[in-house]
Amino acid sequence: MTTNAHASGRRAVKAVIPAAGLATRFLPATKAVPKELLPVVDRPVLQYIVEEAAAAGITDVLLVTGRGKTSMVDHFDRRPDVEARLEEKGDTERLAAVRRTSELADIYTCRQGEPLGLGHAVGVAASHVGDSAFAVLLGDEFVDEEEPLLPSMLDLQARTGGIVLAFLEVEPSETSRYGIASVSPSEYGDDVVQVTGLVEKPSPAEAPSNLAVLGRYVLPPTIFEAINHTKPGSGGEIQLTDAMAALLNDGTPVHGIIYRGHRYDTGMPLGYLQAVVQLAVKRPDLGAEFHAWLTEFVGNPKG
């Protein structure tokens, strides 16, 4: 095994959640409510994401917020009034659920003054992150808690010192919805590939593979300098992909883990509905009843 000169052997301990976008694909719901706070069963999307970070040992979480989105931070505060009422009622289960949100992680926040792109949103995290590798978790997707992804990404980044991405295998016809990677085999096992290039939303004919970039990244601190030098790209936005491509060209190792578990994409109505249904069916408290209703509904959709 070869290790990179920049590899620290230490796992990243901070996460950044960019959540300052306009969420146009979910309008009008997202005019006043951040898409990150839409409930999946009875927890907001953002809570699943912070739980994912915490389960991977990351308890320093920076939320990048923007105009009209500060309510996201409130979700992780204590609510003594609500807790007192639940205590009075003896509702210990809900009391534990409410308290848990404020105990998951240390939540920090910073502002992206204008939504100038994902790269720009990561860039505003520079002073909080400092000179260490860190994880980025997009605010509208999460993976199944029984099939964690982040721990293996953090371990791999500690070994390579470079960029670690995660990929989903998509149908060839779907490549134009994703960032797609060109790859070669790596020395780190069958599910880890070496990334040789990244293309934003290629047509099926132009796609170099069917490996789509998922919203989890572990990045070295050199990304901040690269972001500073990145000019607005597609859609006039400062793209994280462009900054990563610049580091790749300069010799930073870039690897990707092929994720074979389940990813929930709640950034638009169809994916959101699928996440709600799939996670409701899995819930021990309401899964059986919901599943029975759903089966009947599917057999007789008008009812």
> For the window 223-262, what string marks contact with ligand UTP as x by the rule CB under 6 A?
----------------------------------------
Query: Binding ligand UTP by CB under 6 A: which of 4, 6, 8, 22?
Result: 22
- What is the helix (H) or strand (E) element at residue 22, kind and residue range? none
Specify burial of residue 177 (Cβ count, 10 A radius: 0-12, 13-18, 19+).
exposed
Specify burial of residue 108 (Cβ count, 10 A radius: 0-12, 13-18, 19+).
middle
Name the one range near ligand UTP by CB under 6 A: 19-27, 45-53, 223-231, 272-280. Answer: 19-27
By Cβ distance, which residue is nearest to ligand UTP? 21
3-state class of 89 per DSSP? helix
Specify burial of residue 61 (Cβ count, 10 A radius: 0-12, 13-18, 19+).
buried
Query: Binding ligand UTP by CB under 6 A: which of 2, 24, 184, 300?
Result: 24
Q: How far is the CB of 142 from ligand UTP (least distance, A)?
A: 11
d(CA 69, CA 19): 8
Does residue number 33 form part of the binding site for ligand UTP (CB under 6 A)?
A: no
Does residue number 20 form part of the binding site for ligand UTP (CB under 6 A)?
A: yes
Which residues partner with 17 through β-bridges? 63
Residue from 103, 140, 138 nearest 150 by CA: 138
Residue 221 · residue 99 · CB < 8 Å: no
* Type of residue found at 112: Q
Query: Binding ligand UTP by CB under 6 A: which of 4, 6, 7, 25?
Result: 25
Does residue number 118 form part of the binding site for ligand UTP (CB under 6 A)?
A: yes
Q: How far is the CB of 267 from ligand UTP (least distance, A)?
A: 5
Give the number of other Cβ atoms within 10 Å of residue 281's Cβ. 14
Does residue number 116 form part of the binding site for ligand UTP (CB under 6 A)?
A: yes
3-state class of 17 per DSSP? strand
Q: How far is the CB of 270 from ligand UTP (least distance, A)?
A: 13
Does residue number 152 form part of the binding site for ligand UTP (CB under 6 A)?
A: no
Does residue number 115 form part of the binding site for ligand UTP (CB under 6 A)?
A: yes
Does residue number 140 form part of the binding site for ligand UTP (CB under 6 A)?
A: yes
Which residues partner with 40 through β-bridges? 43
Give the number of other Cβ atoms within 10 Å of residue 156's Cβ. 21
Which residues partner with 186 through β-bridges? none
> For the window 61-100, what string marks contact with ligand UTP as x by the rule CB under 6 A?
---x------------------------------------
Q: How far is the CB of 291 from ligand UTP (least distance, A)?
A: 30
- C-beta closer to ligand UTP: residue 178 or 259: 178
User: How many residues at the interface with ligand UTP, by CB under 6 A?
Assistant: 20
d(CA 173, CA 177): 9
Does residue number 21 form part of the binding site for ligand UTP (CB under 6 A)?
A: yes
Residue 36 · residue 142 · CB < 8 Å: no
Residues that bind ligand UTP (CB under 6 A): 18-25, 64, 112, 115-118, 120-121, 138-140, 267
